[in-house]
């Protein structure tokens, strides 16, 4: 027996606003409140958490799995030490000459240590004690295997050699017996390798014993100075190709556990309800379908996060209680801040994978069919995760925008302490955009008639053009467009920066073309696929004369205010550009002096102004205005505009966030007030062009006494003129507003 969802549970108290239409399509409120969304989320959470299988998977499985994994880790660690205990000490130059002296000193030192210390006991569990004991951080005494090599430091870095001993050839000439005039050696070990550290300790302990014995003998002879027969200096290098690292496996395990936590609720809340016959009743409720999907998404993400938190907590307790944390992360153990960073990554990954699962399970008609869909997805998810276990895989720009791989490699970098902030920000932003794109796909499938009437949806529904022309773009389509644009822009910008070019003008022209293709091509293609009217979608309306004058006035007067906002970054801690980066920017500007200023203005001012306005204030803002209030639409589009400018450079320039967001707010208001994107293009082009010309003619302006430093505030007179121009420009735009254009923004769904 199937039960229809309680109407009051979904909508709240009866308000008489949910009357069905004669055509069978209920009239739904255009802007649902947060209260109804919260009630929908609670309903979905109650349905998914009342199942005991969910509780078992959520709480009991981590408590059982991680102790078993810790036992396996301990066994694997001891086994790897047993196999890799044949540590390789590479002797420089020729093993027959220099190597034999080092081996002789090590043999003597080993004999001296055995006389003063008891032999190392094998690792075993004390009798009379039950259960696993904490894993000792002391590595069993290794056995040395001597080999020769050429580039010893590189072999240590790659992991083929655990310890390199570089002997200076000139220090071997004075070797006599077990004494030397000073045999000078350099020991090179690999950072983060337990086996390499064991080899280093082995050699240092024995050479230290030889030195101490020689000192004691010298002190017995009155009147002679102290002289060590062997002098060593150790150096630790960071390895890039270790054969295996347990710290690499931990992020993969956590991510797999998070995926497991999201699979069951995603299937149950979509295909499961469809199989039980309750989805059609839920879709018939007077609630927007996107809001229903949002509630299911929140429920899936919540369960995935609970699973991730339980797994992270169980892993932390296991590492602390078994002593495995000190073996993997050193004597200090697992730092608490690393756990916070990894938890934040798991939150991001849970949001991404939950959206992907909802998009996939929306196609399935039954629980069984959804499971069949998810089997290849799980296998495909394992492949990128296993890539991070391969030696020599570096976190670069391409992998930073690769789904799943970026999160695994970033988590590995957090555990190892090698995460690059710029690539980390790119990976986080890319994953967030991919999650938005997946939600957009899920919304498109979830809202089809195939879902409503129980027939089977197909993958072609994602790419099929609508039968009739739409009036406004959907928010999901706009977010999908941004999600696809970001990795393409990141990769194209990186390729252009690495391309050889004859002159700076060539690079500038290519940058302008790439900007036009990406920022104008993506939204145009999306609008054509959805059969949207291009003029209305991109707000290509004529503006009145006062609006043109106001746009020019704002374009010429906003830069002093933006400069002051830029200086605000130092007060709030967003200043990240070093003096070296600033000098590189000055050198780049100096190289542009041989380029025509018209080329610079066209490539870096006009092209970005026109194309970015088409995307952010045209396609994106049009979609947002049809879905939410004007204030929220302008703010959200401005924040996205500022975020894109942060990652639009080769380094993470957080200083650009506030000025770009400020400019985005002004441009968004102008586009809304004039109901046209064209005045914003003029404003944007004037603003960019003026800044570029100030930088281009920097020396000439400085010679006239108008030079400004990046760290200095603007003169008060300049700020007063800029504020006056801002007021005049806004007044002109207010008078040049198009009321008819603004009222046409609201299109009923």
Higher pLDDT, 463 or 53: 53
pLDDT digits (tens, 9 = 90+) for 629-645: 888 999 999 999 988 88
Q: Are residues 298 and 171 in the same domain?
A: no
Higher pLDDT, 690 or 157: 690
pLDDT digits (tens, 9 = 90+) for 240-270: 444 445 556 667 776 777 777 788 888 888 8
Higher pLDDT, 646 or 651: 646
Continuous H helices in 85-143: 100-116
Region 544-553: mean pLDDT is 90
pLDDT value of residue 3? 45
Contact 358, 435 (CB under 8 A): no
Is 681 a residue whose pLDDT tops 90?
A: yes
Is 78 a residue whose pLDDT tops 80?
A: no
Q: Are residues 188 and 282 in the same domain?
A: no
Region 93-114: mean pLDDT is 73
Flag the least confident range among 129-133, 265-269, 418-422, 658-662.
129-133
Q: How far apart are CA 442 and CA 193, in angstroms?
A: 45
Higher pLDDT, 742 or 294: 294
pLDDT value of residue 742? 52
Region 123-137: mean pLDDT is 44
Q: Are residues 287 and 391 in the same domain?
A: yes
Is 26 a residue whose pLDDT tops 50?
A: no
Q: How far apart are CA 653 and CA 480, in angstroms?
A: 25
Q: Give the pLDDT band (50/70/90) at residue 687.
A: very high
Q: Are residues 344 and 224 in the same domain?
A: no
pLDDT value of residue 231? 66
pLDDT value of residue 16? 42
Q: Are residues 401 and 523 in the same domain?
A: no
Contact 165, 187 (CB under 8 A): yes
Q: Are residues 75 and 90 in the same domain?
A: no
| Residue 470, token pair as written in the block | 């739409």
* One-character DSSP codes across 231-263: EEEEEEEE-S--S--HHHHHHHHHHHHHHHHHH
Rg (CA), the chain: 33
pLDDT value of residue 553? 92
Q: Are residues 317 and 432 in the same domain?
A: yes
Is 50 a residue whose pLDDT tops 80?
A: no
Is 744 a residue whose pLDDT tops 90?
A: no
Q: Are residues 209 and 276 in the same domain?
A: no
Q: Are residues 77 and 150 in the same domain?
A: no
Q: Give the pLDDT band (50/70/90) at residue 385.
A: low
Region 422-441: mean pLDDT is 83
Whether residue 219 is contained in a domain is answered as: yes
Flag the least confident range among 15-19, 171-175, 452-456.
15-19
pLDDT value of residue 86? 46
Is 670 a residue whose pLDDT tops 90?
A: yes
Q: Are residues 143 and 198 in the same domain?
A: yes
pLDDT value of residue 284? 72
Whether residue 588 is contained in a domain is answered as: yes
pLDDT value of residue 494? 76
Q: Are residues 160 and 234 in the same domain?
A: yes
Q: Give the pLDDT band (50/70/90) at residue 36.
A: confident
Flag the least confident range among 163-172, 638-647, 726-735.
163-172
pLDDT value of residue 15? 44
Higher pLDDT, 410 or 136: 410
pLDDT value of residue 70? 66
pLDDT value of residue 663? 92
Rounded to the nearest integer, the mean pLDDT of the chain is: 74
Region 460-485: mean pLDDT is 74
Whether residue 682 is contained in a domain is answered as: yes
The parent domain of residue 734 ranges over 500-749
Is 2 a residue whose pLDDT tops 50?
A: no
Is 498 a residue whose pLDDT tops 70?
A: yes
Whether residue 4 is contained in a domain is answered as: no
Note the pTM of the prediction, 2 decimals.
0.57
Contacts of 478 (CB under 8 A, 6+ apart): 523, 526, 619, 620, 623, 624
pLDDT value of residue 748? 44
Region 408-437: mean pLDDT is 81
First to last CA, the chain: 34
Higher pLDDT, 520 or 743: 520
Flag the least confident range among 82-96, 313-327, 355-369, 403-417.
82-96
Is 649 a residue whose pLDDT tops 70?
A: no
Whether residue 122 is contained in a domain is answered as: no
Q: Give the pLDDT band (50/70/90) at residue 736.
A: confident
Which among 192, 218, 238 is the end of a domain?
238
Strand 183-191 versus strand 230-238 pairing type:
parallel
pLDDT value of residue 84? 43
pLDDT digits (tens, 9 = 90+) for 184-234: 788 888 876 767 777 788 888 888 888 888 777 777 675 555 555 666 666
Continuous H helices in 538-629: 545-572, 579-591, 597-601, 607-612, 621-625
> In the chain, what is the greatest distance between 2 CA atoms, to the nearest angstrom?
114
Contact 104, 178 (CB under 8 A): yes
Whether residue 486 is contained in a domain is answered as: no
Is 666 a residue whose pLDDT tops 90?
A: yes
Continuous H helices in 163-245: 194-220
Q: How many helices (DSSP H) and strands (DSSP E) are in the chain?
A: 33, 7
Region 327-349: mean pLDDT is 73
CB atoms inside a 10 Å sphere around CB 744: 13
Is 510 a residue whose pLDDT tops 80?
A: yes
Q: How far apart are CA 62 and CA 312, in angstroms?
A: 9
When divided into structural domains, the chain yields a total of 3
Length in residues, the chain: 749
Q: Are residues 550 and 417 in the same domain?
A: no
pLDDT value of residue 635? 93
Region 537-556: mean pLDDT is 89
| Residue 168, token pair as written in the block | 């200076």
pLDDT value of residue 471? 81
Which among 216, 238, 260 is the end of a domain?
238
pLDDT digits (tens, 9 = 90+) for 271-291: 777 777 777 777 777 777 777
Which among 213, 238, 263 is the end of a domain?
238
Percent pLDDT > 70 in the chain is 68
Region 458-469: mean pLDDT is 58
Whether residue 18 is contained in a domain is answered as: no
Among 89-93, 128-132, 439-443, the range of highest mean pLDDT: 439-443
* One-character DSSP codes across 284-350: TSSS-HHHHHHHHHHHHHHHHHHHHHHHHHHHHHHHHHHSHHHHHH-TT-S-HHHHHHHHHHHHHHH
Is 682 a residue whose pLDDT tops 90?
A: yes
Contact 281, 414 (CB under 8 A): no
Whether residue 482 is contained in a domain is answered as: no
pLDDT value of residue 552? 92
């Amino acid at each position: 027996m199937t039960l229809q969802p309680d109407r009051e549970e979904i909508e709240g108290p009866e308000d008489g606003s949910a009357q069905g239409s004669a055509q069978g399509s209920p009239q739904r409120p255009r802007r649902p409140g947060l209260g109804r969304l919260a009630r929908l989320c609670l309903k979905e959470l109650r349905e998914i958490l009342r199942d005991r299988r969910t509780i078992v998977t959520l709480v009991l499985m981590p408590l059982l799995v991680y102790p078993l994994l810790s036992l396996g880790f301990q066994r694997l660690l001891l086994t790897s030490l047993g196999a890799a205990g044949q540590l390789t000490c590479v002797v420089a130059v020729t093993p027959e000459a220099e190597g034999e002296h080092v081996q002789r000193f090590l043999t003597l030192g080993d004999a001296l240590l055995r006389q003063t210390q008891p032999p190392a006991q094998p690792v075993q569990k004390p009798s009379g004690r039950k259960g696993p004991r904490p894993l000792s951080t002391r590595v069993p005494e290794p056995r040395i295997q001597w080999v020769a090599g050429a580039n010893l430091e590189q072999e240590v870095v790659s992991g083929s050699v655990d310890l390199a001993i570089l002997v200076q050839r000139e220090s071997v000439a004075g070797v006599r017996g077990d004494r030397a005039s000073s045999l000078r050696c350099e020991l090179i070990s690999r950072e983060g390798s337990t086996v390499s550290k064991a080899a280093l300790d082995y050699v240092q302990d024995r050479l230290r014993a030889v030195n101490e014995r020689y000192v004691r003998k010298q002190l017995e002879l009155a009147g002679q100075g102290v002289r060590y027969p062997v002098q060593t200096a150790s150096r630790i290098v960071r390895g890039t190709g270790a054969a295996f690292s347990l710290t690499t496996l931990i992020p993969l395990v956590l991510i797999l556990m998070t995926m497991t936590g999201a699979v069951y609720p995603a299937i149950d809340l979509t295909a499961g309800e469809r199989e039980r016959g309750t989805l059609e009743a839920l879709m018939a409720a007077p609630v927007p379908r996107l809001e229903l999907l949002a509630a299911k998404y929140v429920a899936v993400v919540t369960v995935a996060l609970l699973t991730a938190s339980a797994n992270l907590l169980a892993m932390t307790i296991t590492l602390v209680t078994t002593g495995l944390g000190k073996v993997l992360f050193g004597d200090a153990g697992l730092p608490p801040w690393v756990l916070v960073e990894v938890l934040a990554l798991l939150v991001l990954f849970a949001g991404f994978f939950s959206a992907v699962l909802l998009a996939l399970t929306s196609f399935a008609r039954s629980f069984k069919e959804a499971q069949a869909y998810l089997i290849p997805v799980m296998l495909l998810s394992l492949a990128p995760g296993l890539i991070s276990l391969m030696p020599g895989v570096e976190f670069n720009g391409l992998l930073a925008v690769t789904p799943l791989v970026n999160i695994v490699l970033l988590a590995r970098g957090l555990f190892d302490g090698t995460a690059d902030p710029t690539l980390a920000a790119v990976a986080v932003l890319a994953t967030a955009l991919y999650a938005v794109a997946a939600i957009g796909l899920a919304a498109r499938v979830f809202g089809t008639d195939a879902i409503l009437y129980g027939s089977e949806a197909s993958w072609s529904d994602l790419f099929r053009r609508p039968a009739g022309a739409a009036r406004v773009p959907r928010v999901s389509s706009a977010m999908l467009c941004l999600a696809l644009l970001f990795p393409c822009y990141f990769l194209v910008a990186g390729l252009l920066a690495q391309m050889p070019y004859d002159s700076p003008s060539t690079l500038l022209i290519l940058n302008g073309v790439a900007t036009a293709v990406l920022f104008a091509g993506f939204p145009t293609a999306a609008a054509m696929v959805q059969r949207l009217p291009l003029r209305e979608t991109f707000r290509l309306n004529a503006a009145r004369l006062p609006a043109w004058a106001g746009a020019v006035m704002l374009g010429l007067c906003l830069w002093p205010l933006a400069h002051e906002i830029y200086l605000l970054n130092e007060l709030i801690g967003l200043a990240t550009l070093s003096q070296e980066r600033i000098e590189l920017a000055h050198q780049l500007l100096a190289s542009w002096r041989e380029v025509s200023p018209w080329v610079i203005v066209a490539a870096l001012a006009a092209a970005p102004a026109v194309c970015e306005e088409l995307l952010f204030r045209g396609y994106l803002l049009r979609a947002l205005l049809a879905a939410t209030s004007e204030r929220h639409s302008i703010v959200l589009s401005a924040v996205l505009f500022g975020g894109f400018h942060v990652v639009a450079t080769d380094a993470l320039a957080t200083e650009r966030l506030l000025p770009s967001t400020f400019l985005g707010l002004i441009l968004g208001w102008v586009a809304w007030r004039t109901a046209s994107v064209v005045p914003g293009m003029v404003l944007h082009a004037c603003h960019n062009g003026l800044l570029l010309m100030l930088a281009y003619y920097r020396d000439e302006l400085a010679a006239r006494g108008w030079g400004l430093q990046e760290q200095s505030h603007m003169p008060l007179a300049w700020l007063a003129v800029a504020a006056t121009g801002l007021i005049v420009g806004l007044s002109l735009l207010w008078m040049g507003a198009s009321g008819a254009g603004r009222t046409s923004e609201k299109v009923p769904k």
